[in-house]
Copies of this chain bind each other. A is one copy, B any other.
Amino acid sequence: MLVLVSYDVSFEEPDGKRRLRKIAKVCENFGQRVQYSVFECVVEPAQWVQLRHRLLEAYDEERDSLRFYFLGKNWQRRVEQHGSGTAYDPETDALIL
């Protein structure tokens, strides 16, 4: 299934940048960055449990915003992309990571 992960990290404190790097690293283990703060992750349910757990550990619930959108197995018909950025298929690209 495809899970879209989007996050806003506060930069008001020095720790913000550290958390941003950590969250990006966690996401990149499971998916691909499609925008600065948006990742598309193709995961099996067990992988999602692990990814979700890591993200919730990494973010600051007082300062950051973390949102998950579940686009299911037939996610291709639910996504439309325009402009710059690499067009890619996360189903296949995920194998390369």
Contacts and interface: CB of A to CB of B under 8 A. Distances in A.
A67 interface: yes
Q: State the majority secondary structure of interface residues on A.
A: strand
Contact of A82 (B38, B67, B71): B67
Contacts of A88: none
Given A69-B4, A71-B69, A78-B69, A64 B36 contact: no
25 contacts: A4-B4, A6-B38, A10-B84, A34-B65, A35-B67, A36-B37, A37-B37, A38-B38, A59-B82, A61-B83, A62-B83, A62-B84, A63-B84, A65-B81, A65-B83, A65-B84, A65-B85, A66-B83, A68-B79, A69-B69, A69-B71, A70-B78, A70-B80, A71-B71, A72-B78
